[in-house]
Amino acid sequence: MAYDIRSLRLAKKIRQHDLAQSLHMSPHELKIVERGFIMPNTDILERAAQFFQVSIDLLTAAHYQLGRTTPAGEGYVTAIPEADFVLPRRSVPALDKPAIVDLFCGVGGFSHGFELTGYFQATLGVDLLPDRAHTFAHNHQAATVFCGDIQRLSLETIAAATPMPYILLGSPPCQGFSSLRPFRTLREKDPRNTLFEYFALAVAAFQPEWFVLENVVGLLTHEKGKTFKTMLDLLAETGYSIDWRVLNAAAYGVPQRRERLIVIGSRQRRTFVWQDPTHYLDERFRSMAGKKYAPMTSLPLFRQALPPAISVMEAIHDLPDIAAGEMSHRYADDIPMTDYEKRMRGTETQLTLHDATAHTPNMLNIIRHAGYNRSALPPGLTTSGFSTTYSRLEPDLPAVTLTVNFVHPASNKCIHPCQDRALTPREGARLQSFEDKYQFIGTRSQIVKQIGNAVPPLLGKAVAEMIASQI
């Protein structure tokens, strides 16, 4: 059965004109909604769901699908829309909170971290993937979300949909941006513009107080450093003062040694003060770039006075033991929680996303033999893979960087420290510092990718606090 408004209307033999009246919209509006030319806003979806007595999620999904397959003809002009669909904000942004516009927003780990300070509020997000857009919208009710290729979206459309951004956040994928195109300058509507250039143009157009660009550390060495240098040169054209560091999430309270390059720009050309880590992480676990470009408490004595970085088991040991292929919806109540676990669990009473991959008998055999790196396996058990594949996480250390495939043991070190299975999506979310109440929307495999691709919220919070302290 189809759940779009037109199909539901025809099934009930209701005239278009009459339905339009019941949904408080004009017949013309209903016509274009029914044909999928625009995504109905939340009010219309709610009224239609109530009218037809169907779930709003089914209606939303049907209209999203309709938008992608809209037929041409019958007098309609089919221009390529700027976005595949738009999810309107569900609440009015608070006037007293500086607005964040998050380009390449993903599920919003970065924005969520900023919101955790209680100071900032996301008012707009853009992402290419529908599941990311829905998850972002669900967790950032004051944000309008555009789903589609950002390069089709005009800066004017963004500007019209949000209060003036105070902070522009962005994690633009940098594929395609190479230093090989010489003499680049920031020019709008250049068809050769890359996603990074879109971000830089948005900074120039919106003039936020601050911009924050997040990326992988590999960008520093790409093309022997030329790519990053070209990017900094382009960003400098905006007139902002710019500074950057490599931050390790484990040094800011995330149970994961995930390093990210953070570039910050100030419109008022303030000198940015990077704050020292809040947790101690042994030098052994920092990459070369992390050692060289990270803010650090200067004296080793002070460093060691910090609480140690949060370990894997301190983050997940309150979750019930389950075997491969099993799931559980109940928290283990008899286990005393660590402070981190209390923070993550909050007031949730029902456990979600704690379902383990059903491994094949062959994989279970590998897992049973697995140690902290691949060389722990008896010879011949696996044929290929890096040294950290088919390996267990160390229980007493923060996790290694989570990948987008952490429910499969062939991925980087993602077997549970003491149970014979890969991590569950819930365990992955904990290691990324998403509280249990953060809702992920999509299929299980989409959700795993959503979690693995995100900026850990507590890392976002640390960056947000650095900015807030300078306002």
Ligand X SMILES: C[S@@+](CC[C@H](N)C(=O)[O-])C[C@H]1O[C@@H](n2cnc3c(N)ncnc32)[C@H](O)[C@@H]1O
Residue whose beta carbon is closest to ligand X = 106
Q: Could you tell me the smallest distance in angstroms from the CB atom of residue 282 to ligand X?
A: 26
Helix or strand holding residue 115 (H, E): helix 109-116
What DSSP string describes 49-72? HHHHT--HHHHHHHHHHHHHS---
Tell me the CA distances in angstroms from 56 to 3, 91, 147, 440, one per residue in order. Answer: 10, 17, 19, 17
Compute the distance between CA of residue 391 and CA of residue 230 in angstroms, rounded to an integer: 38
C-alpha separations of 133 from 360, 412, 440, 455 in Å? 33, 27, 10, 15
Site membership for ligand X, residue 128 (CB under 6 A): yes
Among 30, 107, 116, 203, binds ligand X (CB under 6 A): 107
Count residues near ligand X (CB under 6 A): 21
Q: Show the beta-strand stretches assigned E in 239-350.
A: 241-248, 259-266
- Nearest approach, Cβ of 196 to ligand X (angstroms)? 11
Q: How far apart are CA 94 and CA 417, in angstroms?
A: 43
Any contact of residue 127 with ligand X (CB under 6 A)?
A: yes
Which C-beta is closer to ligand X: that of 19 or that of 39?
39
261, 313, 429, 455: residue in contact with ligand X (rule CB under 6 A): 455
CB of 456 to ligand X, least distance (A): 8
Residue pair 314/340 in contact by the 8 Å Cβ criterion: yes
CB 278 within 8 A of CB 295: no
**Please, what is the minimum distance in Å from the beta carbon of residue 264 to ligand X?**
15
Contact pattern for ligand X over residues 129 through 158, marking x by CB under 6 A: x--x----------------xxx-------
CB of 214 to ligand X, least distance (A): 6
Instruction: For 214-241, give one letter per residue: b (16+ CB within 10 A) or e.
Output: bbebebbebeeeebbebbeebbeebebe
Q: Which is nearer to ligand X, 327 or 404 (CB)?
A: 404
**Nearest residue (CB) to ligand X, 144 versus 382:** 144
What binding mask, one character per residue, do residues 303-332 give for ligand X by CB under 6 A, x or -?
------------------------------
Is residue 386 helix, strand or coil? coil
When the beta carbons of 108 and 417 are compared against ligand X, the nearer one is 108
Strand pairing report for 167-170 and 210-215: parallel
Query: C-beta of 114: minimal distance to ligand X in Å?
Result: 10
**Based on CB atoms, which residue is closest to ligand X, 127 or 209?**
127
Q: Does 353 bind ligand X (CB under 6 A)?
A: no
199 contributes a contact to ligand X by CB under 6 A: no
Q: Determine contact, residues 94/141, Cβ cutoff 8 Å.
A: no
Half-sphere exposure of residue 471, counting CA atoms within 13 Å on the CB side? 13
- CA-only gyration radius of the chain, Å: 24
Judge contact between 223 and 178, C-beta under 8 A: yes
**Nearer to ligand X among residue 132 and residue 413 (C-beta):** 132
* Residue 124 contacts ligand X per CB under 6 A: no
Which range binds ligand X by CB under 6 A, 61-69, 107-115, 347-355, 365-373?
Answer: 107-115
Piece in contact with ligand X (CB under 6 A), picked from 1-9, 123-131, 274-282, 404-412: 123-131
Q: Is 453 in the site for ligand X (CB under 6 A)?
A: yes
Contact string (CB under 6 A) for ligand X, positions 171-190, x = contact: x-x-----------------
Instruction: State the Cα–Cα distance between residues 295 and 262, nearest whole angstrom.
Output: 12
**Which parts of this chain interact with ligand X (CB under 6 A)?**
104-110, 126-129, 132, 149-151, 171, 173, 195, 453-455
